[in-house]
Amino acid sequence: MNTSRKTSRIVGVLFLTAMVASLLGGGLVESILSAPDYLIAVSENETQLIIGVLLELINGIAVVGIAVLMFAILRQHNESIALGYLGFRIIESVFSSVIVISPLSLITLSQEYSKAGASDASYFQTVGALSIAQRASVVGLLIPVFFSLGALLFYYLLYQSKLLPRFISVWGLIGVALILTLNLLSALGLEVGISIGLIFALPIILNEIFLGIWLIVKGFSSSAIASGSAE
């Protein structure tokens, strides 16, 4: 098995790992943090919260793995764009790791909250709300922005290089455009419901799942790999 084939399979597995870890980990964490009395919910569901945090960290690691392995392939076609992609994904990974600070800090806060009297309850709730708000700003704005910037470079270069069938690249670019539109609406203060948000996010979710499977089963175009190596 040649190097590019091994790389494509590893990257494919990492794409699927990142998607599953991100969706499942984020779902576990947010289901607790969105509870009306989240400090009590954190205390009662500590194991679930820790599992969610670990999955979010796995996502961050997978993102870096994808970026590093793809850089070796993409640089053969355009090193500047490949370097930009690598940089944006590393930043995305950093923010994906930073978001675990809030739920982990809430574990300690919830323990102190359960010991505190009614007079101190408002203090802990305020601190907890600020922590959740900081996480929400990173999850809802910073991560999607850097993901989108990296994805735009990624799919553009895939389209130009023909490393994968071009319909995958076009599909990915459309998905990224929808994510950026969703972020713009949120930045403008427009309320977007869960159902509408899912409609905007679903194309890129399905694209990355399909992309991961394609890389595992089919791999990169041999002619595009040969062309990049020749250059």
Each residue's pLDDT tens digit, 34-53: 988 888 899 899 999 999 99
- Residues 94 and 206: their CA atoms lie apart, in Å, by 24
Query: Cα–Cα distances in Å, from 152 out to 67, 149, 175?
Result: 13, 5, 10
- Provide the token pair at 31: 């289901």
Please determine, for residue 2, whether its predicted confidence score (pLDDT) is greater than 80.
no
pTM for the full predicted model: 0.90
Contact 131, 108 (CB under 8 A): no
User: What type of residue is 180?
Assistant: L
Is 150 or 230 the better-scoring residue by pLDDT? 150
Residue-wise pLDDT for 121-148, tens only, equals 778 888 888 999 999 889 988 999 999 9
